[in-house]
Amino acid sequence: MTEIRRIAINTGGGDAPGLNAVIRAVVIAALNRGWRCTGIRDGYNGLFLGDTYPNGDGLIELTRQRVSGITHLGGTILGTTNKGNPLRYPMRDPGGKVIEVDRSDEIMRGFRRHEIDALVAIGGDGSLSIAEVLHRKGLRVIGVPKTIDNDLDKTVITFGFDTAVSFATECIDRLHTTAEAHRRVMVVEVMGRYAGWIALNAGVSGGADVILIPEIPYDLAKVGQALQQRFEAGRQFAIIVVAEGATPAGGTHSVVAREAGRADRLGGLAEAVAGQLQELTGFEARHVVLGHLLRGGSPTTFDRLISLRFGAAAVRALAEGQDGVMVALDPPTVRYVPLNEATARMKRVPLGCDTILTARELGMCFGD
Ligand code: F6P
């Protein structure tokens, strides 16, 4: 294995609180080993679209000073993108039609040209699948599991999730008082793509009456019945938490946009559910979409610590000669799992998990 002199770091996909903490930990741990650190801007764009950046500035030298004081900051100092997956990069053919092109060989040439010996790829399933392809093409890669959705397999948790759940829970708390004051049904939509982790954890913690998640297709009539019973019992308001990727039984996802080179954009479910329930039950219903608020702000203490631990572990992995692995939380420790195992399938909420059992025992309805 060649000696490491210079590593690169990139952040891909939707941002998540904790990205800057990971970057800081990687940079300091690497500099302390005598390695240079380069940040790639906006996923892989800074590497293979470098000339489009002002002053050709797609790569940033990451010094101790550049990562000073960023642990608590949301966002990412490197920028990120969830458009233009380089394996399915949208381009126009001579006839003007949008086609998807695999540009991974250009990326590999970029790493060689800049004499980068290894990459720490911080991302969710999409970004880590790209990193896995680069690893198969010969790049030394360590992945760090990021996403507010918590849908990456082989790690107990991804960083960013705890911050998203904490904020969603706070919002549910706030909705309780206004729902009760107006005797309304409040339907709150949270992100999470095709997994219900955020909705489930925030819904249970916030004491929701109904939680709709992608793993349990819902029947609106059953949700209506649960509301009727609650109102008849004298509790004349209700909180419903819906995951953006939940579906009615036999129905499909609520998609608001579809574009080449990127994942479908989900949305619109809370509004639809609120309207349908108002019609069905006669109870006044309002909807709130928390959306990108869940991705913003400072990481919680839990997310800061796990991000710093993941970042330091990624550099330790490289120093130990690991390659093609993702650092993963396996309490009480952090371990390494092959990238191809981590990205092989989505981690969805297991139907028999303790949190779902708890919710059912507390009388919460999943619409099934
Ligand atoms: O994967 C993170 C996430 O925030 C999902 O929960 C959500 O569906 C998606 O990204 C939104 O992406 P965008 O920022 O492109 O709207």
Q: What is the pLDDT of residues 92-102, one digit of tens each?
A: 999 999 888 99
CA separation for the pair 201, 268 (Å, rounded): 21
- Is the predicted pLDDT of residue 128 greater than 80, yes or no? yes
Using CB distances shorter than 6 Å, the residues near ligand 1 are: 14, 82, 124, 147-149, 191-193, 244, 265-266, 295
Going by their DSSP bridges, the two strands 265-266 and 255-257 should be labelled as: antiparallel
CA separation for the pair 39, 112 (Å, rounded): 15
Residue 17 — very low, low, confident or very high, per pLDDT cuts 50/70/90? very high
Q: What is the pLDDT of residues 145-167, one digit of tens each?
A: 999 999 999 999 999 999 999 99
Atom of ligand 1 nearest to the CA of 124: 1
151 is catalytic: no
- Is the predicted pLDDT of residue 195 greater than 70, yes or no? yes
For residue 155, which of 349, 331, 365, 362 has the smallest C-alpha distance? 331
Task: Indicate the pTM of the whole model.
Answer: 0.96
Please name the amino acid found at residue 235. R
The best mutation among 125, 129, 148 to test binding of ligand 1, ranked by most ligand atoms within 8 Å of the C-beta, falls on 148
Ligand 1 center to residue 342 CA distance, Å? 20
The best mutation among 128, 189, 191 to test binding of ligand 1, ranked by most ligand atoms within 8 Å of the C-beta, falls on 191
Contact residues for 48 (Cβ-Cβ < 8 A; gap 6+): 86, 103, 106, 107, 110
Residue nearest to atom 12 of ligand 1 (CA): 14
